[in-house]
Structure 1
Amino acid sequence: MTRAGRPRGRPPASWGRAAARAPVVWGVSLVAYVVAVLHRTSLGVAGVDAVERFDVTATVLSTFVVVQVAVYAALQVPMGLLLDRLGSRRLVAGGALLMASGQLLLAFATDLGPAYVARVLIGAGDAATFISVLRLVAVWFPARRVPLYTQLTGLVGQLGQVAAAIPLAGVLHLAGWTSAFVGMGAVGVLAAVGVAVAVRDRPPGAEAPPVPRGLAAPLREVLGTPGTWLGFWSHAVTQFSTTVFVLLWGFPFLTVAQGRTPAEAGTLLTLNVVAAMLAGPVIGVLTGRHPLRRSWMVLAIAVAVAMAWAAVLVHPGPSPLWLLALFVVVLGVGGPGSAIGFDYARTSNASHRLGTATGVVNVGGFSTAVVSILVVGVVLDLAEAGGAVALSLDAFRPAFGALALPWLVGVVGVLVSRRRTRRAMAAAGVVVPPLREALARRRGTGARSGLRRSSG
């Protein structure tokens, strides 16, 4: 980098055009990601309608989302490898068309077979979107701004969750299942057209990255990097329980178990998004300013999320509205907290491996969520068989309590991979001082600064 912050080898004129076009490329791709989140979370507000339409139990309903999220998680690494070869534009546009076709199929499905195929298409298209938009951020913006724009991408994308919680729920109940999901398909097609017209894989004048030869070698290199695994576990432990809540079980928990109206539940889910949008820029700035302390942010968020779950589950009877509001706010912070994992992928791997590394990290939260969503459904059915009322608070307590096990595995994963990552950093000449030593040094610097100001 030159002193002015311009990459070496790029003509000044083309750099000016890139700086002007970057917000457009990011903005259009971001709209596509918002639509992807809308597709992803649509079944969460349509869960009760899906039970009636397909005449299924809680376990079968959970498999709809499990299939979708399992496909999403399973395709992250293949999509990352394709991303490093084909570029973001093709993957985002193609993903939007896949999700649109899935929603159109779901609109007319009345049997389980077509419904499962629809969720597979949605999961596959969704798998291509987020990691592709993150690559655009890394390519089009200066490195010092990437953590902030990564957070903003994840947060603005959650507007799709708001669209699912309020407008989609309204259309679903006013116009019916078919009209709602046909409309979803149309929105997906528009997103694909916008990306094809406005998005480009790299700025004008930028050199094309080397195309990887084969698939095994790039994947081995990424998997052999300790920072990749630190990103994987960071993403998993902060995100998975939020995904379980938002994608399927949050709306039934709030309305049936907690006795809240659909309007109150929608407002709480929206509050979850607002909390994420407010916390994200703060986490992004802190990540950029304190890259050696990212794991402490991950662990702090994980502990806060666990305490929020415990507070709601041990409360006798339905929780008061203020506690539910606090609960969804803390869960909301888990979303931007998981984006710290992508920063580990970016800083630990070569730029031409970024798609693959981001895909591996993204597997963390969603693979854990797949197992957790299914476990919650199974425990709910077992609780009902044991005498609990379907989707009651007594049934949800053990079901959500089972999330403690993947949380514990995730925390251990962060601690172990952090030790390995710091060992690799030390071998490269970067030593991370203990937190107590860093805080003592900071206090000492502050005290000396105060002495200088007082003596002056």
Structure 2
Amino acid sequence: MSTSGYGRAAWVVWGVGLLAYAVAVMHRTSLGVAGLEAAQHFGTTPGIISTFVVLQLAVYALAQVPVGLTLDRYGSRAVMTGGLLLIVGGQALLALADDLPLAYAARILLGVGDACIFNGILKLLPRWFEPRRIPILTQVTGMFAGFGQIASVVLVLPLIQTMGWRMGLLLVAGASVFAALAIVGWVRNAPPGEEADTVVDPLREIPGRIAGVTRHPATQLGFWVHFTSGFSMNAFIFMWGMPYLIVGQGLSQLQASGLFTFLSIASMFAGPVIGALTARHPLRRSTLALIVVWSLMLVWAAVLLWPGRAPWVLLVLLVVVLSVGGPGTGIGFDFPRTSLPSTRLGAANGIVITGAFTGGTLLILLMGVFLDWIAGGRAYTPEHLRLAWALQAPFFLVGIAGILLSRRRLRKLMEAQGVVVPSWREVLERLRRRRGLG
């Protein structure tokens, strides 16, 4: 990459991408804050409305690989523009729908459109910025999800409550068209004078290309890091966190909402720190991810094993480690970025992104089935929710095994290419010698 791509234009391209991502997350989380209003509009229960979220997350995960292939073929500008228009169309359809089938169709559109945005930004970063900046920029990009979540609370919900379901959603959807226009006007797939890194595969070769990217240990390690760092946070944010805090821990609605807000804010601060550590210690990225995962396991174990209600300090600590788990997923994107050609990053990043969303969706469904079974049609108790959250254990174990196995394969490949990751014993011995020389 030449230096012609650096400068103000790069920051404009990235800034417009951040706007698009915040808008996408605002629409993604809108039902999380307006679930009661949605239930009232459609004349159903919040439990049925929760299936909208599960469907949307499942579509988001399933769409990642096709979207990644489309990014590799057509570039970020076209795909992100189309994604935002799908989001706008999905929200408009949800606003106008009076029955559940149309509402489900609306969330499918939104899920597909949402899948286009974050991966599209990741595809742009290596073309516009120096490699040393990318880990931090990736984390800051993910940080903007917090702004989207806050916008759903301070913008979407008040509009629905004051102007009604239909008009409130239509206004938000209409305003979001400006983000699509900004992408058309300001985003370019490559700096001036450089060719876009797109590739046109014959249709018969696409399955083989997907298989090749999927088999690469860098993609697999990225997937397992994303899965293990993020599934717990997704299940907490999108479905079972609020019931656990209110019913399981006896918090008020205001206290639980405060912890959710704190989670978003803490994630914003944790992202740049994780990004800086990833950039500073590129050979220890998987170790950093494992520290995040072990912290999640340790704090969850402390909360779930605590007799009775956990103390407030421990719940705050839980929210802190969950907030770090979000940026922890971003470490996963750094493995394919440094190991695969840029023409395959769209597909590879798509596979990585499915990690936490697949894990989170499966955990949400598993917890829901378990709670319905153990409660037998009655209201959930704190003990029911405690046991349901304990179902995370096999997810963590499978994820850690996936990280360790794929890391071993990637390090063997790196050794064949002349890059050797020193053992911790060698690192400590080197530090001891330096101190002796000093």
Instruction: Give 1:446 deviation, angstroms.
Output: 3.6
1:236: Cα distance to partner? Answer: 0.4
Q: 2:192 aligns with which of 191, 204, 227?
A: 204
Tell me what 2:256 maps to. 265
Structure 1: gaps spanning 5 or more residues: 1-6, 452-456
Q: What does residue 428 of structure 2 align with?
A: 439
Superposed displacement of residue 150, structure 1? 0.7
Q: What secondary structure sits across from 2:116 in the alignment?
A: helix
1:362 equivalent in structure 2: 353
Superposed, 1:340-355 pairs within 5 Å as 340-355=331-346
- 2:175 corresponds in structure 1 to 187
Q: C-alpha distance in 1, partners of 2:154/2:309?
A: 23
Q: Does 1:21 align with 2:9?
A: yes
Query: Match of 2:7, as an amino acid?
Result: A
1:241 aligns with 2:241: no
Q: Which residue of 1 aligns with 2:59?
A: 71
Change (3 A) 1:421 1:59: farther
**Which one is further off, 436-445 or 92-101?**
436-445
The answer to whether the aligner puts 1:32 opposite 2:20 as a matched pair is: yes
Match of 1:138 among 126, 146, 149: 126
Matches within 5 A, 1:1-400: 7=1, 10=2, 15=4, 18-54=6-42, 56=44, 60-209=48-197, 211-214=199-202, 215-385=206-376, 387=378, 389-390=379-380, 392-400=381-389
Is the 1:308–1:327 Cα contact (8 Å) retained in structure 2? yes
Q: Calculate the aligned-residue CA RMSD, in Å.
A: 2.1
Cα shift at 1:159: 1.2
| Cα deviations by residue, 1:337-394 (Å, 9 ceiling, x for unpaired) | 000100011011111111111111111111111211111222222232175x24x423
**Counterpart among 386, 395, 412 of residue 401 in structure 2:** 412
Kindly indicate whether residue 416 of structure 2 is the aligned counterpart of residue 423 of structure 1.
Answer: no
Q: CA deviation at 1:412?
A: 0.8
> Where does the alignment leave 5 or more consecutive residues of structure 2 unmatched?
none
The 1-side partners of 2:429 and 2:22 are apart by: 43
CA distance in 1 between partners of 2:160 and 2:434 (Å): 59
With normalisation by structure 2, the TM-score equals: 0.93
Contact 1:58/1:380 (CA < 8 Å) preserved in 2? no
Query: 1:254-312, CA deviations, whole angstroms, 9 ceiling, x for partnerless residues?
Result: 34443434333332112111211111111111111111111111111011112222233
Q: Which amino acid aligns with 2:409?
A: R
Give the whole-Å Cα distance in 1 for the aligned partners of 2:230 and 2:55: 18
* Alpha-carbon displacement from aligned partner over 1:29-76 (angstroms, at most 9, x marks no partner): 111001111112222223344445445567644422221111111111
Deviates most, 293-302 or 240-249: 240-249
The answer to whether 1:403 aligns with 2:392 is yes
**Could you tell which deviates more after superposition, 24-33 or 373-382?**
373-382
Give the secondary structure class of the aligned counterpart of 1:260: coil
Q: Secondary structure at the match of 2:222?
A: helix
Secondary structure of the equivalent of 1:205? coil
1:376–1:399 Cα change, 3 Å: same
Distance 1:255 1:167 in 2: 24
Alignment-mate amino acid for residue 424 of structure 2? L
Indicate the residue corresponding to 1:4 in structure 2: none
Q: 1:3 maps to what in 2?
A: none
Is the 2:219–2:352 contact (alpha carbons within 8 Å) kept by the matching residues of 1? yes
Q: 1:127 to 1:20 in 2, by over 3 A?
A: same
User: Equivalents in 1 of 2:246, 2:42: separation in Å?
Assistant: 20
Cα distance change of structure 1 residues 382 and 47 upon mapping to structure 2, 3 Å threshold: farther
Question: Which amino acid in the other structure matches residue 389 of structure 2?
Answer: F
Task: After superposing the two structures, state which structure 1 stretch, 362-371 or 208-217, moved more.
Answer: 208-217
**Whole-Å separation in 2 of the counterparts to 1:58 and 1:88:** 36
Kept in 2: contact 1:103–1:182 (CA 8 A): yes
Q: Which deviations, in whole Å up to 9, do the C-alpha atoms of 1:319-349 show, x marking residues without a partner? A: 4433322211110001110001000110111
Counterpart contact for 1:93–1:195, Cα < 8 Å:
yes
- Tell me, in whole angstroms, the C-alpha distance in 1 between the residues paired with 2:413 and 2:155: 49
Amino acid at match of 1:396: L
Structure 1 32/431 Cα, relative in aligned 2: closer, same or farther at 3 Å? Answer: same
| In structure 2, distance between residues paired with 1:71 and 1:127 | 8
Tell me the number of residue pairs that the alignment of Structure 1 and Structure 2 aligns.
435
- Flag the 1:47–1:397 CA change in 2: closer, same or farther, 3 A: farther
For residue 54 of structure 2, give the secondary structure of its aligned residue in structure 1. Answer: helix
Structure 1 Cα separation of the partners of residues 213 and 29 of structure 2 = 30
8 Å CA contact 2:95, 2:165 repeated in 1: yes
1:407-427 CA distance string (max 9 Å, x none) = 211111001111111111112
The answer on whether the counterparts of 1:276 and 1:333 sit within 8 Å (CA) in structure 2 is yes
CA pair 179-265 structure 1, distance change in 2 beyond 3 A: farther
